[in-house]
Structure 1
């Protein structure tokens, strides 16, 4: 009986130690401008804050107007000081509604996408 108890304890310990860690995926933590924000003036950039470091070569931000036309922006870049931040400069925006569409690749290699809207008065 003692042998079975020791074997059970050993197998239970090995099962607990042998489990792989759960990998989190990049998730949007906050944005500037924020989702559904109504701005009095045009923003100069879109800044997205994620919960984990990003792979800059594969992450992107696209801004489109209410008609679905993409705006001319530069390439989205990961912040050197904080690799959880992705930002892109935008041209002056006219009054209207805009959508931000993003792709984020975390260090685990998983691709996440999302979108939100804001308006300029």
Structure 2
């Protein structure tokens, strides 16, 4: 194998190994309350745990009730002990089904969003 072929093979191997991590984006790994859970009393906050650190200034959390009423989190902050977690303070939520809709940007610069529901009894 020539030096040129050897270098090309090495470059291809590096690209193949690095590609999966370069394409990965932040994803929600867990939440409190958990998706599809039933809670009582209403939570004072919603915690979102991601797989990588987030850019707090670009993070938003809102809750939508069964009738489409929107409640924005009164405060969204990073967990000081874990830069991969967002904590959204929620005002008093009434009984019923709530959808948590979130948007954030990971430190890699990619915007991600999602939603899940839980029920307050």
Contact persistence 1:60–1:75 (CA under 8 A)? no
Deviating more after overlay: 30-39 vs 66-75: 66-75
TM-score of the superposed pair, with normalisation by structure 2: 0.87
TM-score of the superposed pair, with normalisation by structure 1: 0.87
Greater strand share, 1 or 2?
2
CA distance in 2, matches of 1:14, 1:63: 47
Larger radius of gyration, structure 1 or 2? 1
What SS does structure 2 have at the residue aligned with 1:83? strand
Runs of 5+ in structure 2 lacking a partner? none
Contact persistence 2:74–2:91 (CA under 8 A)? no
CA distance in 1, matches of 2:87, 2:50: 11
What SS does structure 1 have at the residue aligned with 2:83? coil
CA RMSD of aligned residues (A): 1.6
Q: 1:72 and 1:12, CA in 2 relative to 1: closer, same or farther beyond 3 A?
A: closer
Match of 1:88 in 2: 88
Match of 1:11 in 2: 8
Q: 1:14 and 1:90, CA in 2 relative to 1: closer, same or farther beyond 3 A?
A: closer
Count of residue correspondences: 117
